[in-house]
Structure 1
């Protein structure tokens, strides 16, 4: 066997004693190794701060297919924030140096300016709008992205998003109303195209509902809502109501407009809502939207105790039923047409003989016509008349309630409206209105004479707003309305069936001729030629040029009422000679007090009266042909007791020397007509 060599042994030098010479060269290595065992390297590494970059975060979103190809979506700020919170909670807060370093990194992130946000929002809105316009059914989910942009903190971005949604919805909304799917419809087996269309319609309705609800929240101006944002919301609601009044949630849009119209402040938003209502009334063919709007306006005015602007009431004059509806109605009923078709069996002599084959063909033709009407969504005349009748009843309800409430601000608009709707008022409502007009004239006379009770004065003093009632204008409007209602009825019916006496209104008009002629503001309207109150902001944006209701001057109202009394239609009733003579004598007398333009207009009316009733009044211009005995009493309150034929029209000689040549020529023309009539 081979011999195994013995292992070599290393010699160890003995330790040096203290105070000996310098240590060996490898003494620091031994101390380093001895201290390294005490180090906790893992804990030092764990406590070392780490920097997390947003770009290195993993993107878990799927790519999106666009016109440019597949695009990988970017990580949103919300996801980055969640990842940062998770990393902070994972790393803990053991080191203060680490927290300071993370805060420095957060401050170093560049902030996007407001201008850049608006620019990026415009590009995003344009991209989404183009995608939806290109394929609405495929990109209907982009409406949610628009809703998220509309909830941005930047007010300008929100405005742009709201306006973009209006344009998109106007293009997407179909020409029919989408009904909600029932349980049976959900379980039915349908084709792929039908299922796709249903899915598109339901998503469209849900997105549209959310959008309309958001408009309703923004339209309520308050401390937390920017006024400019509320203006944009109201404008969007007005555009949708005009463009798609047939679609779902029409009532929600009407609530936004009616809520703005209920305010006392008349600003640009108020005018926008009022003009939208007028446009809706003019363009509504079937009448459903008009019925909803009139009903809501009537309820709103009643809730406000009729303390609203009169321009709201004037919107009723834009309804299509004013020119299309032919039946008569009141505030609680509608008269049936006189020539209704006979619903029973035809008389044997009038029945046409048709063969079995002909009857079968007619039956099939009627079925086809019915299907075509349903497919074209054509509203029948019977349905439209029924809806317009309900709308007319609501209008009369509003008018009659205001008459009973004696609202000072709305009285002129109500009387003008009743005069316009005179041809649609039936006999029952006619009597109620005349009774209310009599009460108004009586109250106006008491107010002019100062005989009102102290209790009424106290009640008026307790009101917050000062009374703006003009008794003269109201009485003249009552006279005009009464005769307009009579003229709106059928002539034969008014003469035989109604048997109404309007002598009360004629006598009141005769008594008011002298006080009206002495009015210094006879050529001024209630709203024109007066400087507005600088402390009344509600009149700042009121455009009186477009508002033609209750803006006529007092002299115009006087001439209108005199024309109704002295020149009525021949089918109603002949005018007695004593009435014409008394009015002509008084009109010539008050012409001396009137201004130039008013005097010219009054002489023009006398010219027409003399042309029509020249023989009845010719004796007033000739002293040799007096028909009456006694003395003419100009201050007599009754027409018959004034004895007009005992007087003479001597005022013409003074008016011949008037400074205005127009007045002089008018007097000469009247005398020529009288000479021809003698």
Structure 2
């Protein structure tokens, strides 16, 4: 504004010279003629274009010039209108056009897209453009308008086709770049979501009440992201819920309670609880839905199991428990083990839920067994083994209360004061006051303590027991019915995918564990069922019949039936009087049918211990029959079964002194004092086998057994005789311990001699060398024995030291516990004395007030 800009004027044009005055020299003509090629462009000039920009044209009439000027003015006005309706294209995107005048014209585009076939005010007809007449001012007839619309539509279709053709397909490089860009953006979004989940989780754990709304955002992130984000989101929500869920069930306020005016703290608490419940419900529904998807099934089941294990008391526990119990029969082994472990922990930790979840779970399993017709995996029934029941809960405390009541009544009778009030009314008033005080104290104790009421606990345990035994008896009846149907129709041999009777073995184990809780009214039916199942489902009179019946039940299942029968009898010894001879007969026949490797040796060893070793009284004929059969049994099988059988034989010989006559190797054989004078091994009844008339010649062969443990035990048994009747011979090892020890040592056992190689010896010097080698081997064996003794002594000393240290620690712990118990007793005595003094004072005050009223 301060300084004036200098205006630069263009240079002046040269003065006009007439054609007559122009003089061309000969030299110029000669130069042009010599250089015709340089002047050839003049012939290519367009004279028409040049005449457009010439203001004056020679030999033209004045009327034609005026018409020409009018056309040019109309064209200029139309171009201005076009410029007003058009937008100039960016100069970077398109190059300009330079005219002959030297001016630059940039490309333009219309402001609004024009519909094909329509004629606007700014549109110009191509035919009338030369005449300078606008198309909007021309009135067209109806057929002309229709023809024009058709042309416009055709042109629009052509333009669309050209646009589709002009679209260039992307190259493979561009496609790869686009995919890489998408992946990069997805990774960035996933990282952002992970960081956001971490932030929300930390905020919730720090202050859950003020940041409870962030739970919804975390759940939304789980729904938005891909597989990895959903897994991380589910796990983070699990950690948050596991931490912030309270130890009580949330009850939402009713409509009337919401209308009431409350404080800000209560409003905040209600908002917190309602949002927590809504998001928790949505989270559970999402887990149950994801459980059906294979890639996310394990993650969903793990979250459900951890929630049920941590908070089985919280809202929606029934749907959570149902989702876990459905997977007890899952084909996925990981999922099945997770659910079984969760249900077992639920049964053992009943203090968290008060036993409601236990009853619900047991009833659900019972209904599932009924619906599936006992065609489930054994894991679904083995869960019952972790249940625990109290025996006669609350009886001792009730008797103590009755005793204390009687003592207090006696004390009250002795300390009554004479008054004008009748004795009956005074007693009633005192009883009412004491009952009120006791009720108040009990209510306060229940509110303060988290322990469950004894009556409720008893009721819950009775319901669980009835459901458990209902499933067990259902399984037994189903096996009996199926065996009977197969005996009738031998072609019906279809088995389930988990075996012939998959639930029978866990059912028998459970009956053996909870046999002392069974009602005596069902004992007779149970023993008959077990007897029939031990026979294999039918009555077998001989060995061949029993072998045919084993097609129905396995050896292990039959042995379990015998074991359960003995457990039931021993737990109810005073109430039952049942003969168990049939079970001994079945065990006697099973010993011949047993095959090592095919059948379960642990079950056989348990049956030997319970039926033969633990029983105090045995018939002499039966004991002799089992001694003879077990000795022949030990000849045919592995060292583990042989050791357990020989240990059982030793137990029987120690208890039955008369059976040691089998060890006598006289010319006439064993004792012939029994009812049967000849040994008959083919008989199924051990009492009729006549085993006392034979000799244990098998022990002589077992003394040469390849396993040193078996050989030493056989030699010790053979040294027992009738001469040692008065000696007390005790064996501190059971058949089960012998079986486990020998099975462990059998894995690392090596033969000392190679019996398969037949070595040929030569005469002469080679015999001397062999003798020397034998002497060297004997010396090495003596050194090995010395070292073995030293190592044994050392390990015994170390073991004694560790045992003494452990006993000292246990002593210190027990003394501390006793001291604490004495302190607790003293404190409780002081509290009881204080409460009694308060009650006495209150009673005295009440009596004084009554006296004052009466006076």
SS at match of 1:233: helix
In the other structure, the counterpart of 1:18 is 63
2:613 to 547, 555, 567: 567
1:437-456 alignment to 2 at 5 Å? 437-444=530-537, 449=544
- The 8 Å contact of residues 329 and 336 in structure 2, kept in 1 or not, is answered as no
2:586 match: 508
SS in 2 for 1:394: helix
Structure showing the higher helix proportion among its residues: 2
- The answer on 1:664 being equivalent to 2:711 is yes
Alignment-derived partner of residue 758 in structure 2: none
Aligned position for 1:180: 252
Q: Distance in 2 between matches of 1:249 and 1:439?
A: 45
In the aligned structure 2, how far is the partner of 1:624 from the partner of 1:137? 88
Secondary structure at the residue paired with 1:216? helix
Conserved in 2, the CA contact under 8 Å of 1:408 and 1:468? Answer: no
Given candidates 199, 203, 216, the residue that maps to 1:127 is: 199
DSSP-derived class of the 1:246 partner: coil
1:413 equivalenced with 2:502 (yes/no): no
Relative to 1, partners in 2 of residues 1:435 and 1:342: Cα closer, same or farther, differing over 3 Å? farther
Indicate whether 1:473 and 2:546 are aligned. Answer: no
Q: 1:676 to 1:17 in 2, by over 3 A?
A: same
Provide the residue aligned with 2:391 in structure 1: 326
Residue 568 of structure 1 and its aligned partner are, at CA, apart by 3.5
> Secondary structure, in 3 states, of the residue corresponding to 2:111?
helix
- From 474, 481, 494, give the equivalent of 1:401: 474
Closer, same or farther in 2 for the Cα pair 1:313/1:327, shift >3 Å?
farther
**Equivalences, count:** 545
- CA distance in 2 between partners of 1:358 and 1:150 (Å): 64
Cα distance between partner residues in 1 of 2:632 and 2:277:
71
Tell me if the contact between 2:221 and 2:233 (Cα under 8 Å) persists in the aligned partners: yes
- Structure 2 unaligned spans of 5+: 1-59, 88-109, 115-158, 171-176, 417-428, 480-499, 727-855
C-alpha spacing 1:272/1:653, structure 2 compared with 1 (3 Å) = same
**Matched residue, 1:251:** 318
8 Å CA contact retained: 1:487, 1:569: no
Secondary structure at 1:167 match in 2: helix
1:382-409 per-residue CA deviation (whole Å, 9 max, x = no partner) reads: 3223212211222212211111222612
Deviates more, 1:636-645 or 1:478-487: 636-645
Q: For residue 591 of structure 1, report the CA deviation from its aligned partner.
A: 2.5
- Quote the residue 1:68 is aligned against: none
Q: CA deviation at 1:509?
A: 1.5
| CA distance, structure 2, for counterparts of residue 357 and residue 29 of structure 1 | 128
- Give the structure 2 partner of residue 271 of structure 1: 337
Partner of 1:582: 625
Distance 1:631 1:644 in 2: 8
Over residues 524-579 of structure 1, what are the superposed CA-to-partner deviations in whole Å (9 max), with x where a residue is unaligned?
266xxxxxxxxxxxxxxxxxxxxxxxxxx23x322322332223355xxx322222
Alpha-carbon distance change, 469 to 637 in structure 1, aligned in 2, over 3 angstroms: closer
The alpha carbon displacement at 1:170 in A equals 1.1
Cα distance 1:397–1:18, how it changes in 2: closer, same or farther (>3 A)?
A: same
Q: Match for residue 762 of structure 2?
A: none
- Secondary structure at the aligned position of 1:591 is classed as helix
Change in 2 beyond 3 A, CA 1:602/1:42: same
Aligned pair partner of 2:77 in 1, 18, 33 = 33
C-alpha displacement of 1:643: 2.7
Select the structure of larger CA radius of gyration.
Answer: 2
2:306 matched residue in structure 1: 239
Q: Which residue of 2 aligns with 1:392?
A: 465
Does the aligned pair in 1 maintain the 2:622–2:686 contact within 8 Å?
Answer: yes
Deviations 1:462-488 (A, max 9, x none): xxxxx9965222211111111111122
Shift of 1:19: 3.6
SS in 1 for 2:477: helix
Report the Cα distance in structure 2 between the residues aligned to 1:249 and 1:239, rounded to whole angstroms.
Answer: 14
Q: Secondary structure at the match of 1:151?
A: helix
Contact 1:408 1:469 (C-alpha < 8 Å) held by counterparts: no
Contact 1:166 1:236 in 2 (8 A): yes
Residues 56-135 of structure 1: pairs in structure 2 closer than 5 A? 111=182, 113-135=185-207
1:229-628 → structure 2 map (5 Å cutoff): 229-263=296-330, 265-285=331-351, 286-321=354-389, 325-326=390-391, 351-354=409-412, 360=433, 363-364=436-437, 366-406=439-479, 408-444=501-537, 449=544, 470-489=553-572, 491=573, 493=574, 497-516=575-594, 519=595, 522=596, 524=597, 553-554=600-601, 556-568=602-614, 570=616, 574-613=617-656, 615-622=657-664, 623=669, 626-628=672-674
State which drifts further: 157-166 or 402-411.
Answer: 402-411
Q: 2 CA distance for matches of 1:342 and 1:434?
A: 38
Q: How many angstroms does 1:154 deviate by?
A: 1.2
Task: Compute the displacement of 1:124 (Å).
Answer: 0.8
- Which structure has more relative contact order (CA 8 Å, sep 6+)? It is 1
Q: Structure 2-normalised TM-score? A: 0.57
Residue 99 of structure 2 corresponds to which residue in structure 1?
Answer: none
- In the other structure, the counterpart of 1:171 is 243
Match of residue 677 from structure 1: 725
Inter-partner Cα distance in structure 2 for 1:278 and 1:349: 45
1:377 Cα deviation after fit? 3.4
Deviation for aligned residue 1:346: 10
* Gap runs ≥5 in structure 1: 1-14, 49-94, 222-226, 329-335, 457-466, 527-552
- Cα offset, 1:677, TM superposition: 1.5
Q: RMSD of aligned C-alpha atoms?
A: 4.0
Deviation at 1:375, TM superposition (A): 4.5
Whole-angstrom distance in 1 between the partners of 2:551 and 2:692: 41
Q: TM-score, normalised by structure 1?
A: 0.71
Equivalents in 2 of 1:345, 1:280: separation in Å? 37
Deviation of the 1:341 alpha carbon? 5.0
Distance in structure 1 (CA, Å) of the matches to 2:178 and 2:369: 59
Cα drift, residue 506 of structure 1: 1.4
Alignment partner of 2:284: what SS?
Answer: helix
What is the CA distance between 1:513 and its match in structure 2?
2.5
Distance 1:168 1:645, change over 3 A: same
In the TM superposition, residue 505 of structure 1 has moved relative to its aligned partner by 1.0
Do 1:288 and 1:387's aligned partners in 2 also have CA atoms closer than 8 Å?
yes
Secondary structure of the 1:590 match is helix
Contact 1:284 1:320 in 2 (8 A): no
Find the aligned partners of 1:392 and 1:186 in 2 and give their Cα distance: 43
Is contact 1:632-1:647 (8 Å) kept?
yes
User: 1:190, 1:673 → 2: CA distance?
Assistant: 90
How far has the Cα of 1:508 moved from its partner?
Answer: 1.6
1:114/1:154 contact within 8 Å kept:
no
Tell me, in whole angstroms, the C-alpha distance in 1 between the residues paired with 2:111 and 2:449: 78
Task: From 633, 649, 662, give the equivalent of 2:680.
Answer: 633
Q: Quote the Cα distance in structure 1 between the aligned partners of 2:441 and 2:392.
A: 31
Partner of 1:74: none
